[in-house]
Amino acid sequence: MLNYNIQNFSKASSHMEHHDAMGGFQLGLKRLFDIVFSIVGLIVLSPFILVFSIVLLFDKGPVIFKQERIGYKGKPFTIYKFRTMRIDAESNGIPRLENERNMYLTRFGRFLRAHHLDEIPQLWNVLKGDMSFVGPRPERQYFINQINCETDDYRYIYLMRPGVTSYATIYNGYTDTMDKMLKRLEYDIDYLDHRTIFTDLGIILKTVCSVFSGKKF
């Protein structure tokens, strides 16, 4: 299902140890930031949430798309998004990559996806503590198993709450090959090694600029 044209990332990094650069005080600030701004975001965006929900009610299928992802400390959680695909997108039970999922996008779903508006319900995940605004994108166990066949470094991802955005999201985009999955892992581990509140603010600013400039990622 994936393109296994692998570089030497897994071999080079498997002997390195990585540690979270954020201390307890910064982690506390990060969580406070997540709580405050997820509440603000849900309030400010509530008119859009209402309108999108009404539109999706007239489309066949649920308004909210729910999927199990693996998060902090390797624990599964349910991620929430506005539904953008037909309900038969994964009817055979096999997870699909981004380029495959695009074939199943609804007309309104294509609009939501193009402007990253389908991610709005993840503010609830942030408020609950399942996710943070900045962190590695949460993956499904199906793809984690494939990554683990190439490197044992994915365990470091479990040291962080998954995020709505990240450097990997901005610069590596959606992952549709094993090469891109391993490249995303490099970005995420580098973030773990060097992250601060200021790097988080920089990532959020770059993400906002990318969204408003119409960048596809």
Q: What pLDDT band is residue 3 in, cutting at 50, 70 and 90?
A: very low
Flag whether pLDDT at 14 surpasses 90. no
User: pLDDT tens for residues 109-144?
Assistant: 999 988 899 999 999 999 999 999 999 999 999 999
User: pLDDT tens for residues 163-209?
Assistant: 999 999 998 877 778 999 999 999 999 999 999 999 999 999 999 99
pLDDT score recorded for residue 9: 42
Residue bearing the bigger pLDDT, 75 or 114: 75
| Paired tokens of 121 | 């319900």
pLDDT score recorded for residue 10: 44
Average pLDDT, the chain: 87
With a pLDDT cut of 70, the percent of the chain lying above it is: 84
pTM of the full predicted structure?
0.86
Could you tell me the residue ranges of all domains in the chain? 24-212
Cβ-based neighbour number of residue 50 at 10 Å = 10
pLDDT score recorded for residue 16: 75
Cβ-based neighbour number of residue 119 at 10 Å = 18
How large is the average pLDDT for residues 96-105? 67
Three-state secondary structure string covering the chain: CCCCCCCCHHHHHCCCCCCCCCCHHHHHHHHHHHHHHHHHHHHHCHHHHHHHHHHHHCCCCCCEEEEEEECHHHCEEEEEEECCECCCCCCCCCCCCHHHHHHHECHHHHHHHHCCHHHCCHHHHHHHCCCEEECCCCECHHHHHHHHCCCCHHHHHHHCCCEEECHHHHHHCCCCCHHHHHHHHHHHHHHHHHCCHHHHHHHHHHHHHHHHCCCCC
Q: What pLDDT band is residue 94 in, cutting at 50, 70 and 90?
A: low
* Residue 115 phi, psi dihedral angles, 5° rounding: -105, 10
Q: Which of 66, 103, 58, 69 is nearest to 85 (CA)?
A: 103
User: pLDDT tens for residues 22-31?
Assistant: 999 999 999 9
Under 8 Å between Cβ of 185 and 16: no
